[in-house]
Amino acid sequence: MRMNRRKNAHFLMLLRSLMNRTIVVLVVAIAILWVNQNRLARNRRRKRFSLVDRIPTQVNNMRDLVEVSDDDCKKMLRMDRVTFIRLCNIIQSLGGLKNSKYITTQEKVAMFFSVLAHHTKNRSITFQFRCSGQTVSRYFHSVLRSVLTLHSNFLVQPHPIPDDSNDPRWQKFKGCLGALDGTYIDVLVPTAEKARYMNRKGNVTVNILGVCDQAMKFVYVLTGLEGSAADSRVLRDAINRTHGLKVPKGNYYLCDNGYPNCEGFLTPYKGIHNQIIMACCLLHNYIRTEMEVDPLEHDLDNFMNNQEIHEGNDNVDVIDSLETTPEWTTWRDTVAQTMFNEWSSRQ
C-alpha cells in the first residue's frame, strides 16, 4: 500500500510539473502570436521606408528637374539643363565626385544647388530627395570639396581694356581690369567671437571682397575676414597676401568710395554715386519691363563664351600698398573731364 501511494504521489507531481510547463509554453506562444499580429497590422497602416522603394520617386524628381524644361531647372538650380549636365560632368571628371550605390552624381549636385540657390534647410532637402539628413549633409560637403578643387578651372585671369577699344562702356577706362566691391554674408560663430564679426548694422557676418573682370566673372575672392573689418582693411589684406590680389603697375580696378582713391583703384567722386545707382536701378526696371531679353546680357554671354583664360605672369610689377597720391587724383580728374566733354558735345 505504501509503495502504491508513493507511486501515485510521484505521478501526480510529474503531471502537475508537465501541466505548468505546458501552460508556460502556451502563454509564450500566445504572446508571440499577439506581437506578430500587431506588427502586421502596423505595417499595413504604415509602409516602411526602403531604398528600393525610393528609386521611382528619385528618378521622377530628377526627371522633373533636368529633363522637362529649362524654366523649371532655372527656377530650382539657377541654370539651364545643358549647363547643369555639363557641370556635373566636369565635377565628376575633374573634381573626383563619383556615383554612390543609390545616389547619382547629378542628384548630389542638385542637392547642393538646392541649398545654395534657395537657402533650403536640411529637413526640406530630405523630403524632396527622399534620403536622410545625414546623407544630405555628407553629400553636400563632398560636392563642396569637389567644386573647390576646380578653382583653377573656374577663376579667370583679367585682361586690361586695350587702347583701341571701341566698347562705349569701357573705352574711356584704358588699362582697367574690372571692378571690385565688398559684401556681407551672415555666419554662425561662437558667442565669444560675435563682437568681432558684428558689422555696422549689428549683424554677425564676414566681409567678402569680390573682384570681377569686364564680363562679370570672378577674378579673385577673399573670404573669412570678420564683419567689423572696414573695406579698406580687407583690400589692404588682399594685396599683401602671398597669393592675394595682383594689380600690375599701370592697371587698375573700379571701386566705390568705401576704398581709397589710389594707384590701382579708381573711385568715383563723392556725392553723385548714389544718384547714379538710383538711375541705373530705374533704367534696369524699365528695360526688364519692355524687353524679355536684355541685349546687354546677350552680348556678355557671347563675350564670356569666346573668352580665353591665360595664366598670369609672376614677374609683373604689382601694386602692394594703398596710398592716395596727387598724380592719381589728377589722372582721375582728367578721365572724368574727358568723358564730360564728350557727353556735352553730343547734347
DSSP state at residue 47: P
Per-residue model confidence (pLDDT) at position 6:
60
As a whole number of angstroms, the distance between CA 320 and CA 318 comes to 6
pLDDT tens figures, 184-237? 888 888 888 888 889 888 899 988 888 988 888 888 888 878 888 888 899 999
- With contact defined as beta carbons under 8 Å apart, do 255 and 179 qualify? yes
Residue 275 has pLDDT above 60, yes or no: no
Residue 332 has pLDDT above 90, yes or no: no
Going by C-beta distance under 8 Å and a sequence separation of 6 or more, which residues neighbour residue 334?
A: none
Helix (H, G, I), strand (E, B) or coil at 303: helix
Q: Pairing relation of β-strands 176-186 and 205-212? A: antiparallel
Q: What is the mean pLDDT of residues 93-113?
A: 86
Residue 59 has pLDDT above 80, yes or no: no
Q: What's at 12, amino acid-wise? A: L
- With contact defined as beta carbons under 8 Å apart, do 208 and 193 qualify? no
pLDDT class of 308 with cuts at 50, 70, 90: very low
Helix (H, G, I), strand (E, B) or coil at 166: coil
CB atoms within 10 A of CB 44: 8
DSSP state at residue 259: S
CB atoms within 10 A of CB 243: 6
Q: Mean of the per-residue pLDDT values for the chain?
A: 77
Residue 310 has pLDDT above 50, yes or no: no
- With contact defined as beta carbons under 8 Å apart, do 88 and 109 qualify? yes
Q: What's at 89, amino acid-wise? A: N
Where do we find the cell 536622410? 132
Residue 307, φ and ψ in degrees, nearest 5? -75, 140
Q: What is the mean pLDDT of residues 70-74?
A: 80
Greatest Cα pair distance in the chain: 144
- With contact defined as beta carbons under 8 Å apart, do 118 and 143 qualify? no
Residue 249 has pLDDT above 50, yes or no: yes
Q: What is the mean pLDDT of residues 49-54?
A: 50
Going by C-beta distance under 8 Å and a sequence separation of 6 or more, which residues neighbour residue 326?
A: none
Residue 28 has pLDDT above 80, yes or no: no
Q: What is the mean pLDDT of residues 28-50?
A: 68
180 or 328, greater pLDDT: 180
Residue 84 C-beta-side C-alpha neighbours within 13 Å: 28
Residue 280 has pLDDT above 90, yes or no: no
Residue 71 has pLDDT above 70, yes or no: yes
Element (H, E) at 254: strand 252-254
Kindly state the cell numbers that stand for 213.
573682370
